[in-house]
Each structure stands twice: as structure tokens, then as C-alpha cells.
Amino acid sequence: MAEQKNILSEIKDGILYLTINRESKLNALSYKILEELNNIFNEVNDNRSIRGVIITGAGEKAFVAGADINEISELNEVNARKFAEFGQEVFQNIESSHKPVIAVINGYALGGGCELAIACHMRVATENAKLGQPEVNLGIIPGYGGTQRLTHLIGRTKATEMLMTADMIDAQEAMRLGMLNYVEPTKELAIARAEGILSKIMKKAPLSIGMIIDCVNAVYEGAGSGFQIEANSFARCVKSEDYREGTKAFLEKREPNFKGE
Ligand code: COA
């Protein structure tokens, strides 16, 4: 496994452990980190020493608190579409990996962090986890597949509420909604739970596991246009004054004043 700068990786007993390692910014996903994730997942399928993957965030506070808002605040319509399409590609790469991928959500999983978690095949959270899609606070929308995956995962009713209100939900509520497989008191126990799931899967026929992943993902067939509409809408958002105001307000640590233009 090639070494990456912002993601710690270690293979042990058939499991690839990935830690998004940017704790001072709550593991916010920079473009560089997305590229690193992509490099890693390009290798995962062909690496025979990997039978499963666990992704978590460094520290105790956050899994990933979103895409990097500093980078998001400087987008134009053209590169915003590319930004969304690249993120969608990386997360699709994770979702279509033939090795089972489990997110261990050790704190905030917001925006792109929630999108990353729901692109994984399963999720185990710690009790302090908080999940949400707060993009509308910034004058944008999710762009890494969140509008599509969340709706598939928990249904239109609650997905629409989460996407429109930007409310964060706690681990118990996420469990109730079907976003999580398990909730554990600590990160250590959440990792142990994910290892337990993977150790069961690792005793099964690897080809069958890959095919289960393909078949479960077939739920998205025909939904291709939904992902495209998301990337186009994301790009349209960044033409607005509200996008400038929303991202600026976050960086200036104040409430945004949206005008609808
Ligand atoms: N992008 C860039 N930087 C981020 C970030 C993001 N998505 N999320 C957090 N950070 C940075 C903060 O700017 C801060 O940096 P600083 O210490 O240099 O000022 C640092 O991480 C710690 O975050 P802070 O906001 O001080 O922690 P908090 O405990 O007060 O609040 C959150 C935690 C998660 C509620 C808050 O950080 C937040 O709302 N983050 C953005 C979530 C979001 O909108 N994500 C979607 C992006 S598309």
C-alpha cells in the first residue's frame, strides 16, 4: 500500500485500517485527502493481503467534519462541477470496492463526512457521534452523492428533513433511522465491533462477497441521473451570493444572512 500524507494506513490480519489524519481541522476532507483516498481504493481490489477495510478519523472528536470549507469557499461554476464529480467518483470507488468497507464514526460525520460514511458498506458509531448534512447552512448542497445515498438509505421523508434542516442527529437516532449497524460506547469498542463483523465476512467466499456488493449497489442503477443532477445543482449553487455569504460566515465564525440570490 503506497504511503499517503494525510491518511494513515496499516494492514493487519487482512484488514486495512485507514485513519483520516487531520485532527486540528476535525479531519475535514481537502481535495488532497480525496485524491489520497482514491489512490488507496484504486489499489484495494487488487491487493490480496486486504480482505476488508475500516475507515475512521484521527482523535476522539470527529470522523470527518465535511469537505474543507476553505477550499469550498473559492469555487466557480466550472470547478464546482468538477469538485462534485470527483468526490462522487471517489466515493463510488469506495462503494463499489469488492472488499467490505466499514466506517467507524468516532464523532462528527458532517457534510462530506456523512457522505463518506454512507458510501461505506456498513457503519459503526461511537455514542458521541453526530451525523448531518449541513451544506444548506453554507448556501450549497451535498455534492458527493449524499442526496442520492441518504435518500436510498433512510427514505425520502427523513432524508429530506435532514438535507433541508441541516439538523445533526445523534448516534441513537441514526441507529433508529437505519443509518448505522451498531453503536458502541468508545472508539476502541467500535473498532472491535467492526473487526468482529469483518472477521465473520473474511471466512466467507471472497467472490460471493464481491457479488453481494455489486448486487446491493445495483439499487442505484437508473439513479445515474440523480448523481448528475446533484453535481449540476452543486455547481449552480456556487454562482449565488448566498454561497459566498454562507461560506464566508462560517470562516468568520458568524451566522449567515441569506437573501435568496
Ligand atoms: N472545513 C474546514 N475547516 C473545518 C471544517 C470544515 N468542514 N470543520 C471544522 N473545521 C475547522 C474549524 O474551522 C476550526 O479551525 P480553527 O481551529 O483553525 O479555527 C477547527 O476545525 C475546529 O473546529 P471548531 O468549529 O472550532 O470546533 P467546534 O467544536 O466549535 O465545532 C463543528 C465543531 C463540527 C460543529 C464545526 O466545526 C462545524 O460546523 N464544522 C463545519 C461542518 C460543515 O458545515 N460541514 C460541511 C462542509 S460541506
Tens of pLDDT, residues 119-134? 999 999 999 999 999 9
**With left for phi above 0 and alpha for psi between -120 and 50, is residue 237 left, alpha or beta?**
alpha
Q: Report the nearest-CA residue for atom 8 of ligand 1.
A: 65
Residue type, position 243, single letter: Y
Among positive and negative, which fits the CA dihedral 137, 141, 146, 147? positive
Q: What DSSP string describes 187-199?
A: HHHHHHHHHHHHH
DSSP 46-62: T-TT-SEEEEEESSSSE
- What's the average pLDDT block by block, 10 residues per block, for the chain (261 residues)? 87 98 97 97 94 97 98 94 96 96 98 98 98 98 97 97 98 98 98 98 92 89 82 93 95 94 88
Q: pTM for this structure?
A: 0.95
- Residue carrying the nine cell digits 473487526: 195
Domain boundaries defined on the chain: 7-201, 206-251
pLDDT, residue 2, reads: 73
Q: What is the pLDDT of residue 219?
A: 82
**Cα 70 to averaged position of ligand 1 atoms, centre (Å):** 10
Q: What is the pLDDT of residue 25?
A: 97
261 is catalytic: no
230 in catalytic set: no
**Per-residue pLDDT, 94:** 98
| Spacing, Cα 110 to ligand 1 middle (Å) | 10
Give pLDDT, residue 3: 77
- What is the atom index within ligand 1 of the atom nearest the CA of 25? 21
Which set of grid coordinates corresponds to residue 128? 458521541
- Residue 140 exposed, middle or buried by CB count within 10 Å (0-12, 13-18, 19+): buried
In this structure, the strands spanning 108-110 and 130-132 are parallel
Does residue 134's CB lie within 6 angstroms of at least one atom of ligand 1?
yes
Quickly count helices (H) and strands (E) in the chain: 11, 10
Query: From ligand 1's centre to the CA of 63, what distance in Å?
Result: 12
Domain 7-201: CATH superfamily, name plus number: 2-enoyl-CoA Hydratase; Chain A, domain 1 (3.90.226.10)
pLDDT value at residue 223 = 67
